[in-house]
Amino acid sequence: MENNLILPALILVPFIAGFICWLVDKFDQHLPRWIALIGMLITLGLGIALWQSGTFVYEIGSKVPVWAAEFHLPWIQTLGISIHLAVDGLSLLMVLLTALLGVLAVGCSWGEIQKNVGFFHLNLLWSLGGVIGVFLAIDMFLFFFFWEMMLVPIYFLIALWGHKGSNGRSRVYAATKFFLYTQIAGLIMLIGILGLVVYGYMMTGMIGFDYNYLLAVANHLPAEVAYAFMLCFFIGFAVKLPVFPLHGWLPDAHAQAPTAGSVDLAGILIKTAAYGLLRFVIPFFPAASAQFADIAIILGLIGIFYGAFLAYQQTDMKRLLAYTSISHMGFILLAIYAGNILTFQGLMIMMLAHGLSSAALFIMSGQVYERLHTRDLRLMGGLRGQLQYLPFFLMFFVAALVGVPGLGNFIGEFLILMGSFKAYPTFTIMAAVSLVFAGLYGLILIHKALFGEPNPEQKQHYTSPLKDLSAREVSILMICVIGLVWLGIYPQTFLDVSHSSMQWIVNSYMPVQEVVETVQQAATQLEHVEMQ
């Protein structure tokens, strides 16, 4: 296949635009905003062009994924490292989500960021470029390079432009905590990657980091070694997802991050972990993953209820939304380890819908803060009577987040629950019960913010009425509304694109999963016979 130049362009455009933003900052404060917006619009346009030109097909019996487009350039040849980028339906939808939320992140920071505007957009666009690199790289060295690289700009976003948390913790504390958690997890994943490379060298006498090569190596590992390497990869991705009990960095990072940083974290960054589990953990270690499935799903279920319970306790709007992300990511684990085409397709819709709904709610949190100068729900109330547009959008996105039918999140959750019921009926029923709790924390958020009497501390707003949403702010939110309605009414558009990728992952996982389940059932029956 010919090298497709769109793939490196998708990564380079945000990097180049971010660098130009930094250079022109000294001439004009507004110029970096426009350059960043144009850069992300070009990236989104390139992604749409790739969608239009790509063919997403599944080849029966294929041992490796079928890529819609590839780019290959030799790099460090003595170590078998190359710049190898490729895209299929799964990675393309994630790239499009990243580019779209990148446009929204630039838009929502237009009035919020007033100092070091150029350096801010350098960090924002470089983090987005790093995320796109994660979704496109299929050389494991290059993948790990982007995986670690995207953390540095996000550290600066939180540390330099963040808020002081409601619990008094500083933005530097939150940024450092985020960096340490993700850096240590990345090093654990690096052990797994290097372990695969070393085993490959022992088997073939060749050093290589390419996806297809390591896939073949991983499928010939001894069971104990495969399980150990699988755990290294799982921990690396689980911290970023985040999975209970590795979630400690998320609430502080969200609470202190600027609005664009929260959009980046909630909408895109945690999706890289779900992508990593689908792209690497399941295909590389299908037997070990099937063996580990019960533990992973139990961790996911704990996260669903733990996140929902802690969301109730929050008085800070951003921290409440952060804990809802932990709760929703439990569904992602259930979907991945139930491992059939329905749950994988539901996972795809849920990632897109959660990206849009959570990003929109964090944008709205920033908009409320701009007007009230607080995110404390105890100091809000009565906003519905003072504003025309903001209450409608807040109620709409909370409805989307809790899974109201007709919107994207409902489709994702429905497919995941329907697909996982056959394999894990008890776990699925428990996950379904948690949706009631999601409705409750959604209602609490709406009630405290919009209804009731305005708090006495907000009396100054009676004489100087609050400013409603501007045309720019309404436009940003309408993009998310259209996306969520599209996902809820006609998800087939996206299911068609991702089907071939998901079918290949299912075929690499399902037969092994069934064998492991049969062995486990036989062992249980044997124990029962021995007891009798």
pLDDT higher than 90, residue 178: no
Distance CA 512, CA 502 (A): 16
Can you give the pTM of this predicted structure? 0.90
pLDDT of 96: 93
Q: pLDDT band at 206, cuts 50/70/90?
A: confident
Q: What does the pLDDT read at residue 488?
A: 92
The residue that leads in pLDDT, 512 or 215, is 215
Assess whether pLDDT exceeds 90 at residue 42: yes
The residue with greater pLDDT, 517 or 86, is 86
SS3 category, 80 = coil
pLDDT tens-digit series, residues 370-383: 877 778 777 777 77
Task: Quick: pLDDT tens for 246-291.
Answer: 888 888 888 888 888 888 888 888 889 999 999 999 999 998 988 8
Residue type for 443, please? L
- pLDDT class of 463 with cuts at 50, 70, 90: low
**Model confidence at 184: pLDDT above 80:** yes
The partner residues of 69 in beta bridges, in order of sequence, read: 87
The yes-or-no verdict on residue 327 having pLDDT over 60 is yes
If you average pLDDT over residues 450-469, what whole number do you get? 68
Whether residue 45 has pLDDT greater than 90: yes
Distance from C-alpha of 225 to C-alpha of 345, rounded to nearest angstrom: 30
Average pLDDT over residues 352-367: 90
Residue 339 has pLDDT above 90, yes or no: no
d(CA 323, CA 307): 5
pLDDT for position 218: 85
E-strand stretches of 346-414: none
pLDDT tier at 127, thresholds 50, 70, 90: very high
Residue 1's pLDDT band (boundaries 50, 70, 90)? Answer: very low
Which of 325, 462, 515 is closest to 401 using CA atoms?
A: 325
Mean model confidence pLDDT for the chain: 85
Structure tokens at 267: 């909408």
Q: Is the peptide bond before 245 cis (omega within 30 degrees of 0)?
A: yes
Which pLDDT does position 506 carry in this prediction?
Answer: 87
Residue 235 has pLDDT above 50, yes or no: yes
Q: What is the pLDDT of residues 54-109, one digit of tens each?
A: 777 766 666 778 888 889 888 888 888 899 999 988 899 999 999 999 999 998 88
Average pLDDT for residues 42-50, to the nearest whole number?
Answer: 92
pLDDT digits (tens, 9 = 90+) for 372-416: 777 877 777 777 777 778 888 989 999 998 888 888 899 999 999
Q: Give φ, ψ of 72 to 5 degrees.
A: -135, 125
CA nearest 466: which of 373, 377, 371? 371
Please tell me the least confidently modeled range out of 123-132, 142-151, 222-231, 238-247.
Answer: 238-247
pLDDT at 168: 46
- Quick one: pLDDT at residue 16? 93
Closest CA to 215 of 63, 90, 88: 63
Report cis status (omega within 30 of 0) of the bond before 242.
Answer: yes
Q: Is residue 165 predicted with pLDDT exceeding 80?
A: no
∠ CA 481-99-350, nearest 5°, is: 50
Residue recorded with tokens 């539901």: 346
**Mean pLDDT, to the nearest integer, of 186-213?**
89
Would the pLDDT of 521 be above 70? no
Q: Which of 337-341, 495-499, 524-528 has the lowest mean pLDDT?
A: 524-528
Higher pLDDT, 492 or 169: 492
286 has which bridge partners? none
Which secondary-structure segment (H or E) carries 87? strand 81-87
Share of the chain above pLDDT 70, in %: 91
Q: Which H helix or E strand runs over 501? A: helix 492-531
The SS3 call for residue 60 is coil
Contact indicator for 23, 152 with CB cutoff of 8 Å: no
Q: Sorting pLDDT into bands at 50, 70 and 90, what band is 205? A: confident
Rounded mean pLDDT, 31-48 = 91
Nearest residue to 479 via CA among 129, 105, 154, 123:
105
- Give residue 532's pLDDT: 58
